[in-house]
Amino acid sequence: MSNNSQTTILIIDDDPTVRQSLGFFLEDQNYLTIQAENGRIGLEIFDQEKVDLVLVDLRMPEVDGLEVLARIRKMSPDTPMIVVSGAGEIGSAVEALHKGAWDYLLKPIKNFSLLMHAVTSALEKARLIQENLEYQQHLERMVAKQTEEIREREEQYRSILDTATDAIISIDEKERIYIWNKSAEKIFGYTKNEVIGATVHPLLVPKAYLTDTEVGLKHFFETGKGPILGKTTELTALYKNGDEFPIELSLSSFKIAGKWHATSIIRDITTRRITEDKIKKALKEKDVLLREVNHRVKNNLNVIISLLNLKADAIHSGKSAIEAFEESRNLVYSMAMVHDELYQSSNLSAINIKDYIENLAIKLIEIYQPFVEIEYKLQIANVNIDINKAIPCGLILTELITNALKHAYNDIEEKGVLKITCIKSETGDCRISIKDNGSGLPGDIDIQKPESTGLQLVSILTNQINGQISVNTENGTEFIITFPE
């Protein structure tokens, strides 16, 4: 006997004999049965109990079978219902089936195997419908889950695209753009709506490279190969306004429906190029400086030797030897200061004359301050001079300032004043003035043919920087040195 103990059949019939006979038979088949003597009670039971199949008569008091069929079908359209009726008219059967009956049996039932076949067939059909419904619901849940996963992946994908700092661009086999992220908009200047579906190379490739680009793309879409695939390459691209700019491009390929597609990751390297150019320029300047170090050191040493020789010729006593030593020390110090200013400067080929003259003048005044009390005035413009002129200029200043501090104020009663000015003239020349209010130069001194060692040195160095020297002896002495910047 089949195990049908979990299956409940509701029998609705106003004939108790029919109800009992149907119930006894079905219970013998191990089904659970519930009996109702009319349609109204049957509907109440159906609403309260779990019913798997309904056997219903058509002609009953209060609520007939057709009404029961219609209402159960509305409440539970997948519950199988079988009409067991003495009405044998074809019209009744058709109407019952139209109302929702799954089968139609005539009373009295003489062969219960027909009833059993109808019940098992209806229950099997209901089971298949339920399984199909459950499977459909399972598929719908799976589709919903996968749809949600796809939506989440698309959001992640869009988030990656939109937050990437590099431009991400994809094109299909017809060279049409179909991915264009926010960084691409920012870098190239085109909005997404302006470029989606457009051919890529007329928009982004300069005219000089169009032919090569078209040939390369044609080869790629035919073979999936190309010289820059899988590499990072520096190229030139176009802004929306037509300006060219350098880019770094990484290109990858993939197939969709048998057609080659390409995705490029593009970085604007304009700032990097500017930085690289600055670094190259700085390295070049340093390289030039390093190559000249030996030459400059040798020149400086030769200058020092020449200075010492000049001073040595002027030594006639122990006192003059000390003075020569001190003056040489000051001259060497002025040369050292040039290199110190150069070391602190961002420009390795020139120094700021304002800083240099102020520091040099103050240092020399400090050296001679114990021996002479003076007031100094400095009016120095911000002028940069070439390193090759800085050392001779420094030696000239040292010699003239030292000479003024040592000799200009010996025979005056008023307080000594030393004024140093440096300006850039209208012609672009640099003009340096060293003026004191001292007793003035001896009348027999010819500045063009000086006899003193110091003035000879000043004259030589002035010629070395292609300069001119003049002297004004009104109210003291003023040396004016003019030379091309």
The answer to whether residue 178 is domain-embedded is yes
Q: Work out the pLDDT band at 416, boundaries 50, 70, 90.
A: confident
Instruction: Say yes or no: 251 and 301 in one domain.
Output: no
The answer to whether residue 293 is domain-embedded is yes
pTM to 2 decimal places: 0.45
Instruction: Say yes or no: 401 and 469 in one domain.
Output: yes
The pLDDT of 225-242, averaged and rounded, is: 90
Strands (E), 257-347: 259-268
- Residue 31 confidence (pLDDT): 94
Strands (E), 330-381: 350-352, 374-380
- pLDDT of 202 higher than 60: yes
- Residue 3 confidence (pLDDT): 55
Instruction: Say yes or no: 324 and 457 in one domain.
Output: yes
Q: How far apart are CA 443 and CA 445, in angstroms?
A: 6
Torsion 309-362-432-297 (CA) sign: positive
- Residue 226 confidence (pLDDT): 86
Q: Provide the H-helix boundaries in 76-111.
A: 90-99
The answer to whether residue 143 is domain-embedded is no
- Residue 303 confidence (pLDDT): 56
The answer to whether residue 158 is domain-embedded is no
The pLDDT of 312-329, averaged and rounded, is: 58
Instruction: Say yes or no: 122 and 234 in one domain.
Output: no
Q: Provide the H-helix boundaries in 164-252.
A: 182-188, 192-195, 200-204, 210-223
Instruction: Say yes or no: 78 and 24 in one domain.
Output: yes
Higher pLDDT, 33 or 455: 33
**CATH code: domain of residue 321:** 3.30.565.10
Question: Cis omega (within 30 of 0) on the bond before 108?
Answer: yes
**CATH code: domain of residue 118:** 3.40.50.2300
Highest mean pLDDT among 258-262, 379-383, 402-406, 407-411: 258-262
CA atoms within 13 A on the CB side of 13: 25
Specify the range with the lowest mean pLDDT, choosing from 116-125, 136-145, 238-247, 363-372: 363-372
Domain boundary among 249, 268, 287: 268
Q: How far apart are CA 285 and CA 44, in angstroms?
A: 103
- Residue 91 confidence (pLDDT): 82
- Residue 449 confidence (pLDDT): 73
- pLDDT of 1 higher than 50: no
Report the chain's mean pLDDT, rounded to a whole number: 83
Using CA atoms of 37, 39, 42, 44 in order, give the dihedral in degrees to the nearest 10.
-130
- Residue 364 confidence (pLDDT): 80
Instruction: Say yes or no: 247 and 389 in one domain.
Output: no
- Of the candidates 197, 217, 194, the residue with the CA atom closest to the CA atom of residue 205: 217
- pLDDT of 124 higher than 90: yes
Overall residue count recorded for the chain in this entry:
485
- pLDDT of 305 higher than 60: no
The pLDDT of 183-203, averaged and rounded, is: 92
Q: Work out the pLDDT band at 370, boundaries 50, 70, 90.
A: low
Instruction: Say yes or no: 291 and 429 in one domain.
Output: yes
Q: Work out the pLDDT band at 77, boundaries 50, 70, 90.
A: very high
How many structural domains does the chain have? 3
- Residue 409 confidence (pLDDT): 79
- pLDDT of 288 higher than 90: no
The answer to whether residue 147 is domain-embedded is no
- Residue 485 confidence (pLDDT): 73
The answer to whether residue 99 is domain-embedded is yes
Domain boundary among 244, 268, 292: 268
Higher pLDDT, 437 or 369: 437
Instruction: Say yes or no: 287 and 197 in one domain.
Output: no
Q: What is the pLDDT of residues 157-186, one digit of tens each?
A: 788 888 888 999 999 999 899 999 999 999
311's CB contacts (< 8 A; 6+ apart) are: 324, 325, 327, 328, 453
The pLDDT of 87-111, averaged and rounded, is: 86
Instruction: Say yes or no: 291 and 436 in one domain.
Output: yes
Domain around 226? 164-268
- Residue 313 confidence (pLDDT): 57
Q: Work out the pLDDT band at 18, boundaries 50, 70, 90.
A: very high
- Residue 291 confidence (pLDDT): 65
Proportion of the chain above pLDDT 90, given as a percent: 39
Structure letter (DSSP) for residue 411: T
The answer to whether residue 153 is domain-embedded is no
- Residue 28 confidence (pLDDT): 93
Domain boundary among 237, 268, 299: 268
The pLDDT of 59-82, averaged and rounded, is: 92
**CATH code: domain of residue 213:** 3.30.450.20
Instruction: Say yes or no: 430 and 315 in one domain.
Output: yes
Instruction: Say yes or no: 58 and 114 in one domain.
Output: yes
The answer to whether residue 186 is domain-embedded is yes
Instruction: Say yes or no: 449 and 395 in one domain.
Output: yes
